[in-house]
Amino acid sequence: MSLLDDVNRLKQEALQLISKADSLERLGEIHVKYLGRKGAITSILKGLKDLSLEAKKSVGAAANTARAELEENLAAAKERFGKTTATVSFDPTLPGTSSRIGVIHLAKQVIEEMCQIFYGMGFAIARGPDIESDYYNFEALNFPPDHPARDMQDTFFVEGNRVLRTHTTPLQARVLEQQQPPIKIITPGLCFRNEAISSRAHVAFHQVDGFLVDEGVSMADLKGALVAFCKAFYGEAVKLRFRPSFFPFTEPSAEVDISCLLCGGTGCQLCQQTGWLEILGCGMIDPNVLDMAGIDSEKYTGYAFGIGVERTTMLKYRINDIRLFFNNDIRFLRQFK
């Protein structure tokens, strides 16, 4: 059998394999077998140099034609696979793609929950501006002129005598000016401080402040309200501890710790082995604050408290980075439905 016959036989064989091929992988194998570096047609082309001039011409021409024809067929077959896989995917009987429904931001959810608890205890809600005057943010709340919070380091100052409020307590001063006791208000809202952003601190955070002014209000009323709130928010088992503290607008002042949510008080990493977690500041409203708002501090007393929303939420849901609240990463937000 001559080489010319070999070329034709190999070509027919390859064309038949291509027509039967059922995958792109199979086409690749056929290419290697006939046209690859050691393929059958390639070997014949490589051996041409040893042939007579006449044989070189006829076999060479036939082998080159066979190669071109196979390449063309392989390419056409490849295209066929590409198209079939692309067009098969539409099935009108399948259900459509539904659009995603968003979730309420975790901080907002927690604020709502806190407001509901206080609402049940008879508190009304007051809201006010994010940009406050120096007067309501500091002066009316008994901050002395040289208080460190009034420093550029801690507060964002806006034009003139205005600041981005550093707490929602200014609303206490505003409400006290406009209403007469009994007054029972909570003030949820966004606050700002000039902090270095880290896993524990951010320039923005939410606060739920609350206060009550009436005749004969005592520290025992404050304690009763906060115990009721913490049991509703963290569960019946939670214990509270009041530690003396200092705030310009309350006297006496206290910070409140709750028994650790993770270890229950025996000591763990979350509570840094103390068994307690600090959650809020509170105290009896300083008589100066009442007097400045035009409320008779001889007749009336009141208490106030301030809860940091992100901090409380981080403890409740074991979130280890406050920046997650502000990154708008839906992978984080979607976890809290």
State the minimum distance, in angstroms, from the CB of residue 290 to Zn ion: 39
DSSP summary character for residue 157: B
- How near is the Cβ of 265 to Zn ion at its closest, in Å? 7
Number of residues that bind Zn ion (CB under 5 A): 6
Shortest Å distance, C-beta 264 to Zn ion: 7
CB of 44 or CB of 260, closer to Zn ion: 260
Cα–Cα–Cα angle for 292, 295, 300, rounded to 5 degrees: 125
Q: What are phi and psi of 2, to 5 degrees?
A: -80, 165
Residue number, 116 or 273, with CB nearest to Zn ion? 273
Between residues 228 and 270, which has the closer beta carbon with respect to Zn ion? 270
Q: Which is nearer to Zn ion, 161 or 266 (CB)?
A: 266
Check binding of 290 to Zn ion (CB under 5 A). Answer: no
Q: Nearest approach, Cβ of 326 to Zn ion (angstroms)? A: 27
Nearest alpha carbon to residue 182 among 209, 211, 208: 211
**Toward Zn ion, which CB reaches closer, 250 or 259?**
259
* Window 312 to 331, contacts with Zn ion (CB under 5 A): none
Distance, CA of 180 to CA of 213 (rounded, Å): 9
Query: Which residue is it, tokens 């708008």?
Result: 328
Q: Is 231 exposed, middle or buried (0-12, 13-18, 19+ CB in 10 A)?
A: middle
Which stretches within the chain are classed as H helix? 3-20, 24-35, 40-47, 53-87, 106-120, 134-137, 170-178, 219-234, 287-292, 309-317, 330-333
Q: Which residue in 123, 137, 141, 126 sits closest to 287, CA to CA? A: 141
Residue 46 contacts by C-beta under 8 Å, 6 or more apart in sequence?
none
Task: Provide the minimum distance between the beta carbon of 273 and Zn ion in the complex, in angstroms, as a whole number.
Answer: 7
Which two three-digit tokens encode residue 161? 């005598």
Smallest gap from residue 257 Cβ to Zn ion (A): 11
Residues in region 169-198 near Zn ion by CB under 5 A: none
**In whole angstroms, how close is the CB of 319 to Zn ion at the nearest point?**
16
Specify the 3-state DSSP secondary structure of 281. strand
Peptide bond into 182 cis (omega under 30): yes
Closest-CB residue for Zn ion?
260
Q: Which is nearer to Zn ion, 191 or 271 (CB)?
A: 271
Closer Cβ to Zn ion, 77 or 268, answer by number: 268
Touching Zn ion, residues 22-51 (CB under 5 A): none
Give strand pairing partners of 258: 240, 277
Residues 263-282 that bind Zn ion (CB under 5 A): 263, 268, 270-271
Spatial neighbors of 92 by CB under 8 A, at least 6 apart, are none
Give the nearer residue to Zn ion in terms of CB position, either 30 or 260: 260
Omega of the bond leading into 252 within 30 degrees of 0 (cis)? yes
CB of 208 to Zn ion, least distance (A): 24
To Zn ion, the closest distance from the beta carbon of 314 in angstroms equals 14
Identity of the residue, 203 or 270, whose beta carbon is nearer to Zn ion in the bound complex: 270
Scan residues 225-264 and list those touching Zn ion (CB under 5 A).
260, 262-263
Q: Which residues bind Zn ion (CB under 5 A)?
A: 260, 262-263, 268, 270-271
